[in-house]
Structure 1
Amino acid sequence: MRKNITFLLGTATGVCLTLLVAGPQQLATAAKAAVESGTYSKLNLFGDVFERVRSDYVEKPDDSKLMEGAINGMISSLDPHSRYMNAKGWSDMQETTHGEFGGLGIEVTMEDGFVKVVTPIDDTPAAKAGIMSGDVITQIDDDAIQGLTLDQAVAKMKGPADSKIKLKIVRKGADAPVDVALVREVIRVKPVRYHTDGGDVGYIRITSFNEQTTDGLHKAIAEISKEIPQDKLAGYVVDLRNNPGGLLDQAVSVASTFMNRGEVVSTRGRTPEETQRFTARGGDLTKGKPLVVLINGGSASASEIVAGALHDHKRATLIGTRSFGKGSVQTIIPLGSGNGALALTTARYYTPSGRSIQAQGVVPDLEVLQVVPDELKTRAELQGEASMRGHLAAAEGAEQTGSQSYVPPSEKDDKALTAAFNQLRGVTVNANAPTAAKRPVPN
């Protein structure tokens, strides 16, 4: 019997997961399969190696560290998003999804033994220090990262507010590594920011999908509606650029905020019985107003679910560059008191049209490339899911790597945002855009 508890999706530590608990029947089936495949003989081999290390290694090893290392080695051989979390790592992940933690405000992943920056969170020490997507962290306080798990590296970067930390960063194209000194803060992630533009367009930026995202989005729509009368409101821009993902239920409810009905996403595991479908609920709070969604190479997983759903239902025009391409779902399996949890890739997710974006990404209706300053050109593009070692292959079609992730700090220099405003105001016309006259009702 399977019990669904919570879903998370994303590219960084503490996200891209689906919490499921295996029942007795599943465990019995797995045990039978293990016997039939001769797996238990390999487990005997593991036991022999473990005992030899314990008895003959030059120094007395820590048994718990040996076991944790063995588990990490097994899980890390699967794909970039499966991982083991010890008790602290599991606690830290739960803390992150609540939207408040002590640290630097940085979303990261592991690549080739080093920690790679997916994106810094707005208005945090990492963002203020100039850390950018694509930076590779090789040392923390003069200690090498290589050899640590992702959770161990993240734990070293977290800490009490006002405590100092130094990171050594390798940047593509730079002559030498860069030392960055930071002071930790209590990171209170505000996942939704908004303002009005020109008295006729509402702009909403969603930076992550944590437990506060949907409430923040509903508040943003309500406030924009107060500032702009309905008869003057040209529409909304929803900015998902460099949003690495988060909770799946929040992605579903965010998409539902702009849809009256219809499928948002489905997940498909190893067998047909594992297929699950998630549909819109609650109704369109924007009352059918035109919608533009901005995406780029840093828009991953939960962001891609929202963009894919709104695009497939012809509810929104997508503007920007191809998204990251993270189309897999992880299951968090608690391992008992004090033993942490296992994050295991168990399914792919599919947009309403039945398309998997794994290692391919979501392609915008209108591609808009930014003008990147010369000093940032080597860091303006993310290689995406398809470039990650051990990634799940695309379900069909050619894999795609590389997509621009740079967002100008000033709105006046932001070509994608300007294109979105123009689209809503009718200054330019995109043939793929769903107008009020031809937009179908999702079903």
Structure 2
Amino acid sequence: MVKEYLTIRKSTLFLAVILVGLLIGGLVYALSDNLYASLKDFGEVATVVNSQYVEDVKSQDLIEAGIEGMLKSLDRYSEFLDEKQYRALLEDTYGQFEGLGIEIAITNGWLTVIAPLEDTPADRMGIQAGDRIIKIEGVSTEGITAEEAVGKLRGKKGTEVHITIQREGIAEPMEYTIVRDVIELRSVPYYGVTKNKIGYVRLNQ
């Protein structure tokens, strides 16, 4: 009797496990099916827009817009970042970027070095404050914006960028090929106390 009871309990438990498995499997399948159906709809709409919209539209822009809209529908903390925005976030968060290590600005229409950051590729190559970067990779920088210049000067560590410098007091332009590196932004590079117990700090920004 006990043996039969245990057999019945085992059979019941086995059937229950099968039913739960089927239920979960069906639910997952239904969710997956709905997801794939929605993705199919998205793909069809993107294809129509890409082929029939009155102006040229990049497929990547459509995809990124779709991802951005999807994340915005979740909550105010979910956000899509493209590569440029992600790099900017890393710079703000970790205080570093990959590039030459110079502060630049547009002065009288020309890209001008405000100052090289200490112990960076630009500093080690002898780039000086006041230098005009008149060419990047052989292309004139006249009329370039600071944002465009940053995009051309920054890049992955180990890659090279060729710039042409016009320095005050030197007639001929100077050519530099600089290897990009990881640049750490340090707001306080130096600090200490003198023998007279006077504290000092040096601020970069």
Q: TM-score range by the shorter chain?
A: 0.5 to 0.7
Match runs of 1:320-399 below 5 Å? none
Q: 1:173 to 1:96 in 2, by over 3 A?
A: farther
Q: 1:63 to 1:175 in 2, by over 3 A?
A: farther
Residue type at the aligned position of 1:96: E
- The answer as to whether partners of 2:99 and 2:181 remain within 8 angstroms in 1 is yes
Q: CA deviation at 1:94?
A: 3.9
Indicate which of 212, 216, 237 corresponds to 2:200.
237
Secondary structure of the corresponding residue to residue 126 of structure 1: helix
What residue number does 1:178 align with?
Answer: 174
Q: Distance in 2 between matches of 1:151 and 1:62?
A: 25
Percent identical: 32
Q: Distance in 2 between matches of 1:62 and 1:173?
A: 49
- The answer as to whether partners of 1:89 and 1:155 remain within 8 angstroms in 2 is no
Q: CA deviation at 1:113?
A: 2.8
Unmatched segments (≥5 aa) in structure 2:
1-54, 59-81
1:129 aligns with 2:131: no
- The answer as to whether partners of 1:89 and 1:151 remain within 8 angstroms in 2 is no
Residue type at the aligned position of 2:172: A
Query: Structure 1 or 2: larger helix share?
Result: 2
Q: Distance in 1 between matches of 2:83 and 2:111?
A: 19
1:97 aligns with 2:92: yes
- The answer as to whether partners of 2:191 and 2:202 remain within 8 angstroms in 1 is no
- The answer as to whether partners of 2:189 and 2:202 remain within 8 angstroms in 1 is no
- The answer as to whether partners of 2:97 and 2:182 remain within 8 angstroms in 1 is yes
Q: CA deviation at 1:148?
A: 2.8
Q: Distance in 2 between matches of 1:88 and 1:145?
A: 24
Q: CA deviation at 1:92?
A: 4.8
Q: CA deviation at 1:186?
A: 1.3
Q: 1:63 to 1:125 in 2, by over 3 A?
A: same
1:151 aligns with 2:114: no
Residue type at the aligned position of 2:147: D
What residue number does 2:102 align with?
Answer: 106
- The answer as to whether partners of 2:188 and 2:201 remain within 8 angstroms in 1 is no
- The answer as to whether partners of 1:105 and 1:125 remain within 8 angstroms in 2 is yes
Q: Distance in 1 between matches of 2:121 and 2:183?
A: 9
Unmatched segments (≥5 aa) in structure 1:
1-60, 65-86, 202-231, 246-443
1:276-335 superposed Cα distances (whole Å, 9 cap, x missing partner): xxxxxxxxxxxxxxxxxxxxxxxxxxxxxxxxxxxxxxxxxxxxxxxxxxxxxxxxxxxx
Q: 1:147 to 1:193 in 2, by over 3 A?
A: closer
Q: Distance in 1 between matches of 2:56 and 2:198?
A: 60
1:44-92 superposed Cα distances (whole Å, 9 cap, x missing partner): xxxxxxxxxxxxxxxxx9899xxxxxxxxxxxxxxxxxxxxxx766555
- The answer as to whether partners of 1:126 and 1:182 remain within 8 angstroms in 2 is yes
Secondary structure of the corresponding residue to residue 119 of structure 1: strand
Q: Distance in 2 between matches of 1:143 and 1:62?
A: 28
What residue number does 2:138 align with?
Answer: 142
- The answer as to whether partners of 2:191 and 2:200 remain within 8 angstroms in 1 is no
Residue type at the aligned position of 1:154: V
Q: CA deviation at 1:118?
A: 0.8
- Give the count of matched residue pairs: 127
Q: 1:190 to 1:110 in 2, by over 3 A?
A: same
- The answer as to whether partners of 2:103 and 2:117 remain within 8 angstroms in 1 is yes
TM-score, normalised with respect to structure 2: 0.54
- The answer as to whether partners of 1:120 and 1:127 remain within 8 angstroms in 2 is yes
